[in-house]
């Protein structure tokens, strides 16, 4: 059911407290935030049961603006705090909002272990290929050859593919979207939030200010339009060669599997221990 | 509660930490294996499921500390345990707990350092780090464990202080305390005082998450109980939101400092032995305090008016006990398994003519009563 943006804003934003926000005009973060609110609204989650944790960076500011139980943690550690919250109160719907540097550089170890551990958590990673807030340094997803303030001669390292990393690390659900594909993102986020187990949604987003500008990728509109032009669905990508996929963004569901969820398994162990005690 | 309350048990220091924590209501442990603290994690993993608690072994100590803070924010008393290298890794998130005022307990079973150091040898080299390890001015409470029974009672006390003042409490144990087995009489459930954090009683719309009560401590809502609020490691205003306003920044720092200052008379804890007529005294903590007691007893037998002040609270530094002693004695001896981390605090509060003598071991060996006695008779 379509809920007008005005109503979503009224319902979910801390509009009287924390605006204007810190994001640059045209930033993709707002599109992801809107999509999350549509997903939460359509799932009819109570605001009291939603916990939104973030790390540090532009993405880290998102929970500040939203009327949930919100937590702005240390750099890279959002998933560790989220793990403690979920284990302490499994009835809560716990999400972690991270950036690419946050989730896969400083928080890379936590990310792969959260995927392996398979707690009932949702991780949303906004991947804009750069450290935006600190002024445009290269991140683990900055492409080979790209320019940043710490790779002015061209980047000599290779980029992580975040979703593929999550699939290999064992996440129950992995999906990718771009900020252009907002309708798809809404659906993927809904699926991720309701998925039993660790769910990852990677969103390719534009940082035209720190990344696009230095790599001649144009303004926000041009960058977002390029996502439309370069995206291929998972199904279409399956029929393409590696060369054909060069420079393309595979979007859709990359993994969706049923596995034992550690929170549920632990509840079973608890029950056994308590029966034994009696 | 712990099933062992009120019984007589043969326990190791590390095991007693677990029972003390359970008695105080701890229901969450997250950590990472490390010598000589691993027994704490092992015993928690066995005992927590049966009392509806949660144990999790994380990918590193950074994650362990993060999970502990998360659990506490969701309303569950939580702790972690580690040794030097792991304690180094925890510092960033420990600062978050100080800043966001999240109650939690961290046991650091000290080994020799720096770096990987001496994993199976005792030391007291992390004393100043426990106070100042995380960056920026911050409030924190540091307590020292000296025996198996202390490992039970002081751990329980650590949870109470943490809950009452919304501050992380560091427990400093050492390899000797951790691995010594002693037969101990554990207090009964009636004897154990359990303090829980004060929760908001106002309607959610009126809740101001970081407005201190008369003691400077804000009532704490748990995630999920209807008081939706924001928690951040950025300096924040009373609503919990980031601020750049200098008067709000200063007010934030002062409230955090003052809540500990106001509670200082209760927070500073020590034990006094033979101090009434003492002319010389030993100031010691941790396992060294036990060697010191024996040395002082031997000195008394030989007619020396010696006494012992055993520090339980290391920070905030218990000047309320140390300063009067310095006025009373002509000399004090401060034996430590480090280069002099508490003796510098004793110097700091000394306003008298009292001579302060250090006795330090940094060779991975325990300080014996004999060596303390030899120093004592020279004072």
Residues B50 and B143 in one domain: yes
Residue where a domain terminates, one of B267, B287, B304:
B267
Q: Which of B62, B68, B231 sits opposite A72 (nearest CB)?
A: B231
B-chain residue closest to A50, CA distance: B224
Tokens of A53: 């944790």
The answer as to whether B157 is a domain residue is: yes
Residues B217 and B156 in one domain: no
Which distant-in-sequence residues (6+ apart) come within 8 Å of A4 by Cβ? none
Residue where a domain terminates, one of B243, B267, B291:
B267
Residues B117 and B27 in one domain: yes
Residues B102 and B155 in one domain: yes
Tokens of B285: 């903590």
| Domain annotation for chain A: domains and CATH numbers | 5-277 (3.40.50.970)
Tell me the residue range of the domain where B208 lies: 204-267
Q: Select from A88, A269, A271 the residue whose CB has the most chain B CBs within 10 Å, as the one to mutate to test that interface.
A: A88
The answer as to whether B199 is a domain residue is: no
Please judge whether A80 and B66 are an interchain contact, meaning their C-beta atoms are less than 8 angstroms apart: yes
Residues B259 and B284 in one domain: no
Residue A1 has a pLDDT of 58
Give me the half-sphere count of Cα atoms (radius 13 Å) on the Cβ side of residue B276. 2
Look at the block and give the residue holding tokens 């012992």.
B308
Residues B285 and B325 in one domain: yes
Q: Evaluate whether B267 touches B147 at the Cβ level (below 8 Å).
A: no
Is it the case that residue B10 has pLDDT exceeding 90? yes
Please judge whether B70 and A84 are an interchain contact, meaning their C-beta atoms are less than 8 angstroms apart: yes
What letter would DSSP give residue B277? T
In DSSP notation, A53-110 reads: EE-SSTGGGGGGGBSSEEEE-STT-HHHHHHHHHHH-TTSEEEEEEEHHIIIIITHHH
Residues B287 and B299 in one domain: yes
Q: Under an 8 Å CB criterion, which residues of B touch A? A: 28, 30, 49-50, 52, 54, 56, 58-60, 62-76, 78, 92-93, 96, 222-226, 228-234, 239, 241-242
Please judge whether A113 and B63 are an interchain contact, meaning their C-beta atoms are less than 8 angstroms apart: yes
Residue where a domain terminates, one of B162, B191, B220:
B191
How far apart (Å, rounded) are the C-alpha atoms in residues B342 and B283? 9
pLDDT digits (tens, 9 = 90+) for B177-221: 999 999 999 999 999 999 999 999 999 999 999 999 999 999 999
Residues B87 and B209 in one domain: no
User: Any chain B CB within 8 A of the CB of A46?
Assistant: no
Residue B78: closest CA among B169, B145, B212, B188: B169
Q: Cα distance from A53 to chain B (closest Cα, Å)?
A: 9
Q: Evaluate whether B71 touches B55 at the Cβ level (below 8 Å).
A: no
CATH classification of the domain holding B327: 3.40.50.920
Please judge whether A84 and B74 are an interchain contact, meaning their C-beta atoms are less than 8 angstroms apart: yes
In DSSP notation, B348-371 reads: HH--SS-EEEEEE--SS-PPPHHH
The answer as to whether B3 is a domain residue is: no
User: Any chain B CB within 8 A of the CB of A219?
Assistant: no
Residues B90 and B231 in one domain: no
Which distant-in-sequence residues (6+ apart) come within 8 Å of A271 by Cβ? none
Residue A231 has a pLDDT of 98
The answer as to whether B15 is a domain residue is: yes
The answer as to whether B353 is a domain residue is: yes
Say how many Å lie between the first and final Cα of chain A, rounded.
49
pLDDT digits (tens, 9 = 90+) for B62-103: 999 999 999 999 999 999 999 999 999 999 999 999 999 999
pLDDT digits (tens, 9 = 90+) for B153-169: 999 999 999 999 999 99
The answer as to whether B33 is a domain residue is: yes
Q: Cα distance from B284 to chain A (closest Cα, Å)?
A: 36
H-only helix segments in chain B: 13-23, 38-47, 61-73, 84-100, 127-132, 148-165, 175-179, 246-267, 287-301, 319-328, 343-349, 369-376
Is it the case that residue B1 has pLDDT exceeding 60? no
Q: Cα distance from A50 to chain B (closest Cα, Å)?
A: 8
CA distances from A19 to A122, A275, B286 (A): 26, 52, 51
The total number of structural domains in chain B stands at 3
The answer as to whether B342 is a domain residue is: yes
Residues B151 and B251 in one domain: no
pLDDT digits (tens, 9 = 90+) for A219-255: 999 999 999 999 999 999 999 999 999 999 999 999 9
Residues B164 and B308 in one domain: no
Q: Cα distance from B300 to chain A (closest Cα, Å)?
A: 51
Q: Cα distance from B38 to chain A (closest Cα, Å)?
A: 20
Residues B187 and B299 in one domain: no
The share of chain B scoring above pLDDT 70, in percent, equals: 99
pLDDT digits (tens, 9 = 90+) for B259-282: 999 999 999 999 999 999 999 999
Residue B255 has a pLDDT of 98
Please judge whether A84 and B30 are an interchain contact, meaning their C-beta atoms are less than 8 angstroms apart: yes
- For chain A, residues with pLDDT lower than 50 are none
State the complex-level ipTM.
Answer: 0.97
Residues in chain B closer than 8 A to A51 (CB atoms)? 74, 223-224
The answer as to whether B196 is a domain residue is: no
DSSP three-state, residue B170:
strand
């Amino acid at each position: 059911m379509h809920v007008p943006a005005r109503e979503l804003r009224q319902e979910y934003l801390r509009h009287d407290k924390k605006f204007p926000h810190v994001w640059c005009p045209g930033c993709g973060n707002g599109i992801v935030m809107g999509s999350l609110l549509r997903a939460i609204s359509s799932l009819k989650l109570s605001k009291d049961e939603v916990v939104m944790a973030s790390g540090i960076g532009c993405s880290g500011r998102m929970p500040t603006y939203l009327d949930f139980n919100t937590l702005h943690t240390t750099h890279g550690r959002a998933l560790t705090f989220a793990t403690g919250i979920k284990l302490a109160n499994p009835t809560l719907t716990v999400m972690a909002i991270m950036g690419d540097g946050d989730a896969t550089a400083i928080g890379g170890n936590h990310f792969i272990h959260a995927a392996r551990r398979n707690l009932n958590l949702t991780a949303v990673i906004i991947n804009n290929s750069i450290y935006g807030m600190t002024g445009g340094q290269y991140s683990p997803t900055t492409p080979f050859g790209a320019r940043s303030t710490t790779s002015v001669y061209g980047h000599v390292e290779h980029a992580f593919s975040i979703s593929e990393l999550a699939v290999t690390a064992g996440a129950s659900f992995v999906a990718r979207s771009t900020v252009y594909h907002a309708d798809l993102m809404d659906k993927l986020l809904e699926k991720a939030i309701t998925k039993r187990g660790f769910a990852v949604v990677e969103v390719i987003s534009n940082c035209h200010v720190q990344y696009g500008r230095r790599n001649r990728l144009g303004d926000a509109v041009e960058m977002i339009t390029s996502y439309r032009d370069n995206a291929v669905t998972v199904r279409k990508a399956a029929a393409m060669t590696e060369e054909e996929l060069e420079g393309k963004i595979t979007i859709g569901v990359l993994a969706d599997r049923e596995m034992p969820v550690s929170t549920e398994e632990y509840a079973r162990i608890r029950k056994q221990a308590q029966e034994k005690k009696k | 509660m712990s099933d062992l309350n009120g019984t007589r048990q043969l326990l190791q220091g590390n095991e007693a930490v677990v029972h003390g924590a359970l008695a105080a209501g701890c229901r969450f442990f997250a950590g990472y294996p490390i010598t000589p603290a691993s027994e704490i994690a092992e015993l928690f993993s066995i005992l927590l499921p049966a009392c509806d608690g949660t144990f999790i072994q994380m990918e590193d100590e950074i994650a362990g500390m993060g999970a502990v803070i998360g659990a506490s924010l969701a309303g569950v008393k939580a702790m972690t345990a580690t040794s030097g290298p792991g304690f180094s890794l925890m510092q960033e998130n420990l600062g978050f707990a100080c800043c966001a005022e999240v109650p939690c307990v961290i046991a650091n079973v000290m080994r020799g350092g720096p770096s990987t150091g001496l994993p199976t040898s005792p030391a007291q080299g992390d004393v100043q780090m426990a106070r100042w390890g995380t960056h920026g001015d911050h409030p924190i409470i540091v307590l020292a464990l000296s025996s198996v029974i202390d490992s039970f009672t002081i751990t329980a006390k650590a949870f109470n202080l943490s809950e009452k003042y919304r501050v992380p409490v560091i427990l400093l144990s050492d390899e000797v305390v951790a691995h010594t087995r002693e037969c101990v009489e554990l207090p009964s459930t009636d004897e154990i005082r359990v303090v829980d954090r004060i929760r908001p009683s106002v309607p959610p719309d009126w809740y101001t998450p970081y407005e201190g009560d008369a003691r400077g401590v804000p009532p704490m809502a748990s995630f999920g109980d209807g008081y939706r609020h924001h928690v951040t490691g950025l300096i924040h205003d009373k609503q919990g939101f980031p601020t750049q306003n200098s008067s709000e920044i200063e007010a934030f720092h002062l409230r955090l400092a003052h809540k500990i200052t106001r509670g200082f008379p209760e927070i500073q804890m020590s034990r006094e032995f033979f101090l009434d007529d003492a002319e010389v005294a030993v100031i010691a903590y941790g396992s060294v305090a036990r060697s010191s007691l024996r040395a002082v007893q031997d000195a008394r037998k030989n007619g020396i008016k010696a006494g012992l002040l055993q520090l339980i609270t290391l920070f905030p530094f218990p000047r309320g006990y140390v300063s009067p002693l310095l006025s009373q004695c002509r000399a004090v001896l401060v034996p430590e398994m480090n280069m002099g981390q508490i003796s510098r605090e004793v110097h700091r509060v000394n306003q008298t003519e009292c001579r302060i003598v250090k006795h330090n071991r940094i060779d991975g060996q325990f300080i014996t009563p004999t060596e303390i006695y030899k120093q004592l008779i020279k004072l």
